[in-house]
Amino acid sequence: MSDTIAVLGGTGALGRALALRLARAGHLVVLGSRDAERARASAAELRETLSATGVDARVDGEANAGAASAGEIVLLATPWDECGASITALTGELAGRLVVSCINPLGFDAKGPHGIAVAEGSAAEQVAALLPASTVTAAFHHLSAPSVADLDNDLSGEDVLVCGDDAAARARVVQLAADVTGRPGVEVGALRQARVLEPFTAVIIAVNKRYRTRAGVLMTHVDPARPAPAPKAAAQAHA
Amino acid sequence: MSDTIAVLGGTGALGRALALRLARAGHLVVLGSRDAERARASAAELRETLSATGVDARVDGEANAGAASAGEIVLLATPWDECGASITALTGELAGRLVVSCINPLGFDAKGPHGIAVAEGSAAEQVAALLPASTVTAAFHHLSAPSVADLDNDLSGEDVLVCGDDAAARARVVQLAADVTGRPGVEVGALRQARVLEPFTAVIIAVNKRYRTRAGVLMTHVDPARPAPAPKAAAQAHA
């Protein structure tokens, strides 16, 4: 399945890395940036990287609004923004889109990395509140950008944890994760689980520092390709 | 290294299971319960289980206060208690002890499992606030009690994440984790990381439901036996 995927914050380390892998998987990827020229330059670099591996990839770059309009699926790989102005500015463009928040609100002090308190509970829930006409999920918090950017790196041993309130959207992001890592994402429930997924990145960063590594997370004893049947709407109503 | 380890909440599922494995590893384990008779009955059952596998284990049972006094290391495998009365009652007995909070403040509603907001940030930080004369760490949140209780079960493929503000205490709990799972625990930083570790259990429970499994967590690309050298106090002061 090939989709048009916009990556806002597409010139940042994680955004570029995800775009690279999604383009390699055959998707048309549109990088979004506040600076359209930077987005186009990054897109050209990614095309060149993939061309060197024999992949004729489709990667474009645009200003954020244009990228958001183009994408059927829109990844938010942007820095945490407490006031949410950059998201609010795109409410119209993102209407009807499947939005995937990869945002990690993190802080660092003498005790190490930590999650920042978010009024809405999590960055993903903030995004959902700002985008009532979009379907919002959250995923891709825990992959190390350099690990994703290195195409020789086998990521199929780590999990992408996916949350969201819409079952079909979660299932779509689970498949998108497979296009990045080679392994379907793992569904972890409602969007509010982002309250845990986002600051778990601070745990990973602390581990990276303590063990001098680029850690990821794997849920043991889970076959992500074999979820139990989703409960029916009627069954949910009685749950 | 053999220690006397008290397990408060030692008649609950996780407490019993941890006690079983720690006793098998050669520690003297004292189960604590509000009901001393129940604690003694559980201790007798654990001795019998281990005796059937040829292990002459040392497991006793006492009321919580007696168990707390006896333990050099005290595991809190008790249910979450917002007012903390059961902990406050043991302030004297727990003074000078290495306390390991395994407490998971969790709730369940129509959207699934979720972490409960804790005024102090986490149950572990609440415990630390109530026990100023104890050294408090947090660990063992993510192991599945039935998986731990089944001694045939190889747990060496999953991680015990350990946090705490005292480096020596963290290192001790890392080794204690190895006595439970066969794999040293992974240090994830300051005690406040319990704000993530505790509700991450809600993520695991959601995964268990979705994939009909007993999931655990593994940090990929980490060799828990090889942490980087801990920074020196002087280096920390300049960090």
| pLDDT average, residue stretch A76-90 | 94
Is A65's pLDDT higher than 70?
Answer: yes
In whole angstroms, give the CA distance from residue A223 to residue B214: 11
> Would you call A112 and B190 a contact, using CB atoms and an 8 Å cutoff?
yes
> Would you call B188 and A203 a contact, using CB atoms and an 8 Å cutoff?
yes
Neighbours of A52 (CB within 10 A): 9
Which residues from chain A sit within 8 angstroms of residue B199, using beta carbons? 195-196
Range of the domain at A66: 4-237
Name the pairing type of β-strands A112-115 and A73-76. unpaired
Question: How many residue pairs from chains A and B have C-beta atoms closer than 8 A?
Answer: 142
| pLDDT tens-digit readout, B124-178 | 999 999 999 999 999 999 999 999 999 999 999 999 999 999 999 999 999 999 9
> Would you call B207 and A213 a contact, using CB atoms and an 8 Å cutoff?
no
Instruction: Give backbone dihedrals phi and psi of B149, rounded to 5 degrees, phi first.
Output: -70, -25
Is A232's pLDDT higher than 70?
Answer: no
| pLDDT tens-digit readout, B8-55 | 999 999 999 999 999 999 999 999 999 999 999 999 999 999 999 999
**Buried b vs exposed e over A138-176: b needs ≥16 C-beta within 10 Å?**
bbbbbbbbebbbeeeeebeebbbbbbbbeeebbbbbbeb
> Would you call B188 and A207 a contact, using CB atoms and an 8 Å cutoff?
yes
CA torsion through residues B123, B125, B128, B129, sign: negative
Task: Give the pLDDT band (50/70/90) at residue B228.
Answer: confident
> Would you call A228 and B210 a contact, using CB atoms and an 8 Å cutoff?
yes
pLDDT of B52 reads 97
> Would you call A196 and B204 a contact, using CB atoms and an 8 Å cutoff?
no
The answer to ipTM > 0.90 is yes
> Would you call B110 and A239 a contact, using CB atoms and an 8 Å cutoff?
yes
| pLDDT average, residue stretch A65-79 | 97
Cα distance from A37 to chain B (closest Cα, Å)?
Answer: 37
What long-range pairs does B234-237 form, CB within 8 A, spacing at least 24?
B236/A110
Is A106's pLDDT higher than 90?
Answer: yes
3-class DSSP assignment, residue A19: helix
Chain-centroid distance of CA B83 in Å reads 20
pLDDT of A209 reads 96
Cα distance from B86 to chain A (closest Cα, Å)?
Answer: 27
Task: Give the pLDDT band (50/70/90) at residue A229.
Answer: confident
Which residues from chain B sit within 8 angstroms of residue A224, using beta carbons? 211
| pLDDT average, residue stretch A193-210 | 98
> Would you call B189 and A112 a contact, using CB atoms and an 8 Å cutoff?
yes
Cα dihedral B205, B209, B211, B215, rounded to 10, equals: 20
3-class DSSP assignment, residue A86: helix
Mutate to test the interface with B, among A150, A210, A214 (most CBs of B within 10 A): A210
Cα distance from A88 to chain B (closest Cα, Å)?
Answer: 27
Mutate to test the interface with B, among A193, A201, A238 (most CBs of B within 10 A): A193
Overall number of domains in chain B: 1
| pLDDT tens-digit readout, B201-227 | 999 999 999 999 999 999 999 999 988
Which residues from chain B sit within 8 angstroms of residue A213, using beta carbons? 221-223
Question: Which among A212, A203, A183, A159 is positioned nearest to B228, based on CA atoms?
Answer: A212
> Would you call B221 and A213 a contact, using CB atoms and an 8 Å cutoff?
yes
Which residues from chain A sit within 8 angstroms of residue B237, using beta carbons? none
CATH of the domain at A173: 3.40.50.720
Is B87's pLDDT higher than 70?
Answer: yes
Instruction: Give backbone dihedrals phi and psi of A206, rounded to 5 degrees, phi first.
Output: -65, -40
- Asked whether A99 and A135 are in contact (CB, 8 A), the reply is yes
> Would you call A221 and B216 a contact, using CB atoms and an 8 Å cutoff?
yes
Nearest by CB to residue A210, choosing from B196, B197, B227, is B227
- Asked whether A124 and A138 are in contact (CB, 8 A), the reply is yes
Is A51's pLDDT higher than 60?
Answer: yes
CA distances from B144 to A172, B179, B181, B216 (A): 29, 16, 12, 7
Which amino acid is located at A90 in the chain? L
In whole angstroms, give the CA distance from residue A170 to residue A191: 10
- Asked whether A4 and A28 are in contact (CB, 8 A), the reply is yes
B238 versus A196: which is more confidently predicted?
A196
Average pLDDT score, chain A: 94
**pLDDT > 70: percent of chain A:** 95
| pLDDT average, residue stretch A91-101 | 98
Is B230's pLDDT higher than 80?
Answer: no
Instruction: Give backbone dihedrals phi and psi of A142, rounded to 5 degrees, phi first.
Output: -110, -5
pLDDT of B99 reads 98
> Would you call B157 and A223 a contact, using CB atoms and an 8 Å cutoff?
no
pLDDT of B2 reads 76
Cα distance from B207 to chain A (closest Cα, Å)?
Answer: 5
Task: Give the pLDDT band (50/70/90) at residue A230.
Answer: low
Is A202's pLDDT higher than 80?
Answer: yes
Cα distance from B204 to chain A (closest Cα, Å)?
Answer: 8
Task: Give the pLDDT band (50/70/90) at residue B100.
Answer: very high
B117: closest chain A residue by CA: A121
Which residues from chain A sit within 8 angstroms of residue B113, using beta carbons? 189
> Would you call B219 and A214 a contact, using CB atoms and an 8 Å cutoff?
no
Rg of the Cα trace of chain B?
17
Contacts of A118 (CB under 8 A, 6+ apart): A82, A105, A125, A126, A198
pLDDT of B239 reads 36
Average pLDDT score, chain B: 94
Is A173's pLDDT higher than 70?
Answer: yes
pLDDT of A238 reads 40
Task: Give the pLDDT band (50/70/90) at residue A1.
Answer: low
Task: Give the pLDDT band (50/70/90) at residue A228.
Answer: confident
Nearest by CB to residue B226, choosing from A187, A195, A211, is A211
Task: Give the pLDDT band (50/70/90) at residue B232.
Answer: low
Is A199's pLDDT higher than 60?
Answer: yes
Name the pairing type of β-strands A4-8 and A73-76. parallel
In whole angstroms, give the CA distance from residue B55 to residue B47: 8
